[in-house]
Amino acid sequence: MMGQQHGALGMRQQQQRNGMSPAGLALCPTHVLRPVHSMCQQPAQRHTRRQGLEAVAGHSEPVAMQSALTPQDEQPIASTSGTDDVDRSINTSNLWEIDFCSRPMVDERGKKVWELLICDSSRSFEYSEYFANSKINSAELRRAVEAILARPGAVRPEKARFFRSQMQTIITKALTECGIKPVPSRRCFTVMSWIQERMESVYKLDPRYSDKSQSLFSLDLGPPEALPDALRGEQWAFVQLPLRQLQTMLKGVEEADIFGNTFDLATIGADTLPKDILIPGVAVFSRRALPLAAWTNGLEIAAVKADVLRSSLILETGVNQRWKYGGWKPNQDAIDEAENWEDCKQGVKGLHFLAVQPNPDSEDLTGLWLLSDREPPQV
């Protein structure tokens, strides 16, 4: 069960001046979730604070959460990173991150060179292999995966995340045939960072590099959809926590005491953030907080965004799914608060979080997800 430490997202009444947090971030009122298209709301009544998490609590009416390569080129590379001489060629992880895409390189025929990258979240396992343009199919991908799994001591992962929707058919078929669950997800923080690292350390140093041969893959996001009933809460609030306290609370996720997901800050370049810096988040309150957290945990949550034009929170999941997660009355104060929350998020390298708890005064936290608002690499 959750202890006092994990209840730090609860809020007790404490007056603040001018509706601003100590960090100067204007915070949004707590919103009651309402049916889609209903936009009624009353102004905030009071400011509250509890154990370092800050929000503005108010009352509102019901809001809805709604090429031809040489034989040498084609050989796989069992990677080792840095100078630690650690063997990273044998997988022992239950979760992979995969990218299978063209790179900014061309072969002697002028065809794009493709690359397969596979790693785990800590990069204790890494695999890379170049592919000719004519070999981009599920059979070739399955061959590479089976070769990895055939190595002595290798563990078959339970699932593998990938973030390019355009490659979903090939990746899904190959992984399924290998007994690995394919998971479309933008929570591929480690492989994304590895790609960006390889741009400077590998691709640009390769004689086949061409800055005119950029990837055509892009993130294709459609309009947000109505949120399924099982994922609806009753109230929500913009909140914030010092990074140190947030990391402490995330230990409950790591120890499986609460639902949620986290990641190494180094994978998004956020490991140098000061421990006392305030991290913005969204807290969702519900009398059915435990089942709500369980259902929410079934999503591959990428980010939460405050969409000013739609006067709505947008929950982004999987690779390109978007959901209407909550809303506010479109007035200037609400717009300023939403924009300030987004500015704060960008000021901490896109880092933010989503929390679920029974109510603003509860000492229980049933779900906590560390999130990163970042675009996939354009490579």
Tens digits of residue pLDDT in 185-231? 999 999 999 999 999 999 999 999 998 877 667 778 889 999 999 99
Task: Give CA–CA dist 208/280, Å, rounded.
Answer: 43
Amino acid 216: pLDDT: 65
CA atoms of 292 and 299, how far apart (whole Å): 11
Tell me, what's the pLDDT at 85?
Answer: 60
Q: Given this model, what pLDDT does residue 76 score?
A: 55
Q: Which residues pair with 357 in a beta bridge?
A: 285
Q: Of 163, 204, 145, which is closest to residue 372 (Cα–Cα)?
A: 163
Alpha helices by DSSP H, listed for the chain, are 138-149, 168-177, 189-201, 243-254, 289-297, 332-347
- Determine the pLDDT at residue 84: 55
Please report the pLDDT score of residue 218 as a whole number.
75
CB 219 within 8 A of CB 351: no
Q: What is residue 25's predicted lDDT score, i.e. its pLDDT?
A: 27
pLDDT digits (tens, 9 = 90+) for 140-152: 999 999 999 999 9
Query: How many residues are listed for the chain in this entry?
Result: 379
Mean confidence (pLDDT) of the chain? 81
Burial 194-203 (b: 16+ CB within 10 A, else e): bbeebbeebb
Intervals of the chain under pLDDT 50: 1-75, 78-83
Global pTM exceeds 0.95: no
Task: Give percent of the chain above pLDDT 90.
Answer: 70
Distances (CA, A) of 45 to 247, 263, 328: 31, 36, 15
* Distance, CA of 374 to CA of 192 (rounded, Å): 10
